[in-house]
Amino acid sequence: MVWDEGADTETQMLRDIAHEFAQRTLRSAGQQADATGETPWAAVRAAGELGLSAANVPAAYGGPGISARTMAVVMEELGWGNFGVTATVGAASLVAAALLRAGTEQQRQRYLPQLCSTQAPWVAALALTEPESGSELEISLAGEQQRLATHATRTADGYLLRGAKRFITNGGMADLTLLLAKTEDGSGPQAWTLFLLEKDIPGFRAGRQIPTMGLRGSYTGELFLDDCAVPEQAVLGRPGSGFEIVLQVLQIARTMISSAAVGLARAAYEAAAAYSLERQQFGRPIREHEFVGGMLARMRVDIDAARLLVQRAALDLDAGRDASLQAAEAKLFAAETAVRVTQDALQIHGGYGFTRELPLEMWVRDALISRIFFGTSEMQMLEIAQGLARA
């Protein structure tokens, strides 16, 4: 039950590499991380060494430059292996996408080869969320009520950053962080500006790792900026263009994380489908009881439908079209599907599904974050409703 329709040779090859890696490495690394709470950095590095980190970087900067459609296929396989590690690996492609859209040639030359390196791949982070602002930073409303507290004050040769970021994937661990702050170039989102921050620059410090109920294969942390001085060259795009770039990157992020959520749902579905044939009750496999068979049918249809929505959004991204509505639809449906399917898969396993001896309960916990990060399901609905108003 993998997506094959029209896949070219490169996509099939990368899908096979990603699937094999997911089976051989991600499944066990993810489960171990879930038990210990320790991020499996070796598995994250191994993904990069296989060329699966920031694979959207084009050949001119050392990467394979794969399409969004192919990237989505890779993300589904990685998500099938472990959703958390996939989120941590995936951050590099988002920062790369932002650099490709808005970076200067100097910034691209400096960072893109590092992000897609197969020798020592850099870990990246996209830092938007703050203690007081979450949803309002991840929606295309562009209103004065969208607050951003982290601010950048102009100095003679650059900016001084002050503020805090919370719930950041790889936050404090990343070699490169793309961080949103407001400058004095306008009001509301018109003043938002993105900064490229390398690890260990003075005044940029990691806070604690935030313990989470799921997605424990991924590192979630806090960041603090205490009068962090950066040169003008740290700005991505022009001052005041942060909102526009973030909205474009969110289209990619939503599409890719939706694909990983499809992979997570598929993992749970496959386990349930296999178990439903093995497990006998009332003298026959439980799949032959119509409520169980019906549940499996519903799960399968939802996964296929979610994948098709992802592919539609990826096609739009590849064609350079605005994919905000398509990405929001994919994200809303894929996240809800991942939550429903993992719960149904647990249910089909009965009491065994509820134990910590099988990965079902971990998948249920992991799936829940898909409704929250990169804009909650409510934000996707708002985005879609706004899109309807524009149509």
List residues near ligand FAD by CB under 6 A. 126-129, 134-135, 138, 167-169, 212, 215, 220, 369, 372-376, 378-379, 382
374: left (phi over 0), alpha (psi -120 to 50) or beta: left
Minimum distance between the CB of residue 170 and ligand FAD, rounded to whole angstroms? 7
Nearer to ligand FAD (CB atom), residue 82 or residue 220? 220
Nearer to ligand FAD (CB atom), residue 127 or residue 313? 127
> How far is the C-alpha of 228 from the C-alpha of 238, rounded, in Å?
19
Query: Which residue's C-beta sits nearest to ligand FAD?
Result: 134
Residue 228 pairs with which residues in a beta bridge? 161
Nearer to ligand FAD (CB atom), residue 169 or residue 183? 169
Nearer to ligand FAD (CB atom), residue 18 or residue 173? 173
CA distances from 48 to 93, 113, 172, 268 (A): 11, 12, 19, 26
With CA atoms as reference, report the closest residue to 188 among 133, 252, 248, 125. 133
Nearer to ligand FAD (CB atom), residue 220 or residue 326? 220
CA distances from 291 to 87, 223, 286, 351, 357 (A): 34, 48, 9, 17, 25
Pairing of strands 124-127, 176-182: parallel
Nearer to ligand FAD (CB atom), residue 259 or residue 276? 259
Determine the Cα angle at 321 with ends 80 and 309, to 5°: 35
Minimum distance between the CB of residue 194 and ligand FAD, rounded to whole angstroms? 12
Minimum distance between the CB of residue 134 and ligand FAD, rounded to whole angstroms? 2
> How far is the C-alpha of 48 from the C-alpha of 61, rounded, in Å?
15
Minimum distance between the CB of residue 83 and ligand FAD, rounded to whole angstroms? 10
Determine the Cα angle at 122 with ends 118 and 127, to 5°: 145
Burial group, residue 67, by CB count within 10 angstroms (0-12, 13-18, 19+):
middle
